[in-house]
Amino acid sequence: QVQLVESGGGVVQAGDSLRLSCAPSARTFSSYTMGWFHQAPGQEREFLGHIRWSDGRTYYVESKKGQFTISRDNAKNTVYLQMYSLKPEDTAVYYCAASPYSAPTTEYEYDYWGQGTQVTVSS
């Protein structure tokens, strides 16, 4: 069974940076688009942005432009979510996911999901 394994979550202070990683456990997703989502307590899961493995093209929701950066390392078969200037409202479980579509922005377009990693930002 294919799994996406996330890591890098934790507790940080407001203003800190944090980098999350996402690596498939059993296959490569070279033709897929890798997305990042987060889900705050009591809230719906929200799309943050994505990156295409094939060309590295990225897309971000407007509210996260400049604060979040998504990248990939082909040699390590890993996708990253670099977060800067974290705020308490960024506290959430962060998920990576894989989609066969080229520009997926909704969770319904993603076929594979990680288990999530908790990020807590204290004030």
CA dihedral over 105, 3, 81, 31, signed as positive or negative: negative
Residue 31, burial from CB neighbour count under 10 angstroms (0-12, 13-18, 19+): exposed
State the pLDDT at residue 41: 92
**What digits encode the pLDDT tens for the residues 1-51?**
668 999 999 999 999 999 999 998 877 788 899 999 999 999 999 999 999
Bridge partners of 34? Answer: 51, 98
DSSP SS3 for 7: strand
**What digits encode the pLDDT tens for the residues 40-77?**
999 999 999 999 999 999 999 999 999 999 999 988 99
